[in-house]
Amino acid sequence: MPAITAGTVLVSGANGFVAVWVVRSLLENGFFVRGAVRSAEKGAHLRQQFSKYGDRFGLAIVPDITKVRAFDDAVKGVDAIAHTASPYHFQADDPAELLEPAIKGTLGILESARKCNSVKRVVVTSSTAAVLHDSPTPMVFSEADWDDQAVEEVEKKGRAASNAHKYRASKTLAERAAWDFAKKHQSEIGWDLSVLNPPLILGPVIHEVSSPDALNTSARQMHGVFTKPDAAASGGGCWVDVRDIALAHVLALQKQEAGGERIIISAGAFKWQDWLDAAPAESKSKYQKGTPGAGKDAVHPVRYDASKSKRILGMQYRSMEETAEAVVDDYEQRGW
């Protein structure tokens, strides 16, 4: 399949934390972008934000991504799709709250793309939530791994499954559905699929947000660590800067070799304390200090092999210091 170096890209969930950076990155790289949002109100901030790009940025209103044929109009004439829309939170009681929009949203946009012969590539924003599994010993996961454990937990326990398992199952099932769809319809579709699997995405925020409490899940977690006593403690995970995952979406369209590939996009492992330590020296007095150095020699139970992202996409990852500085600058500009 040819790589996409120009043309129009449909970005679903365009008002989200990650997606606004994806839109910006696409525009900066010369693409036209059609951002799909649930309502005109949700698109108003985007229109204003990207007004300098004139007709290179437009909106599509898709009120309910779980409805059959929801994206039929939105996909018309686009050259590629970046599907980011999916619920990311840990508050669902009924797992269907996460599973339905994740799976039906993904299958719906692919079904609309199947009928649209202008589409040449679809990039789906999955997650390392679809890759990892719980393990008693530290593990390094790769694209060969699948989080079937979360799916089994949710099938077995339903509402009683942990919130993390519910979210992880939604990402695993949605990603599997995407690959199954692409395989099943291989002979009739003019596009190929590329899937990105990032861990926790952190960095400055450019989507519309009124207060720290209204932040998306990952940015809210980061803000809590910087501002609430003891939040840093011993927890951690793996991360990538939101600007790097945004660029990865652009590269996944541009690089021919990304077609048919599942690609982990991860900068490395962290303990929350590392973020406090990485913040610029002059900002430290304004935020939590935690226990400086406590994350340094910590064991990381989960790591990811990101070599494929470097090989296929040429990814180079921002450092923790660069991301921490941008995050703190963002808080300061907002008076947080």
Judged by the rule CB under 6 A, the positions of this chain that interact with ligand NAP are 13, 15-19, 38, 42, 65, 84-88, 101, 125, 127, 171, 198, 200-201, 216, 218
Nearer to ligand NAP, 96 or 298 (CB): 96
Nearer to ligand NAP, 87 or 190 (CB): 87
SS (H, E, C) the chain: CCCCCCCEEEEECCCCHHHHHHHHHHHHCCCEEEEEECCHHHHHHHHHHCHHHHHHEEEEECCCCCCCCCCCCCCCCCCEEEECCCCCCCCCCCCHHHHHHHHHHHHHHHHHHHCCCCCCEEEEECCHHHCCCCCCCCEEECCCCCCHHHHHHHHHHHHHCCHHHHHHHHHHHHHHHHHHHHHHCCCCCCCEEEEEECCEEECCCCCCCCCHHHCCHHHHHHHHHHHCCCCCCCCEEEEEEHHHHHHHHHHHHHCHHHCCCEEECCCEEEEHHHHHHHCCHHHHHHCCCCCCCCCCCCCCCEEECCHHHHHHHCCCCCCHHHHHHHHHHHHHHHCC
Chain residue at closest Cβ approach to ligand NAP? 16
Nearer to ligand NAP, 237 or 259 (CB): 237
What is the smallest separation between the CB atom of 117 and ligand NAP, expressed in angstroms?
A: 26
What is the smallest separation between the CB atom of 64 and ligand NAP, expressed in angstroms?
A: 7
Nearer to ligand NAP, 190 or 209 (CB): 209
What is the smallest separation between the CB atom of 135 and ligand NAP, expressed in angstroms?
A: 20
Distance CA(313)–CA(54), nearest Å, equals 29
Nearer to ligand NAP, 1 or 231 (CB): 231
What is the smallest separation between the CB atom of 18 and ligand NAP, expressed in angstroms?
A: 4
What is the smallest separation between the CB atom of 187 and ligand NAP, expressed in angstroms?
A: 28
What is the smallest separation between the CB atom of 16 and ligand NAP, expressed in angstroms?
A: 2
What is the smallest separation between the CB atom of 261 and ligand NAP, expressed in angstroms?
A: 17
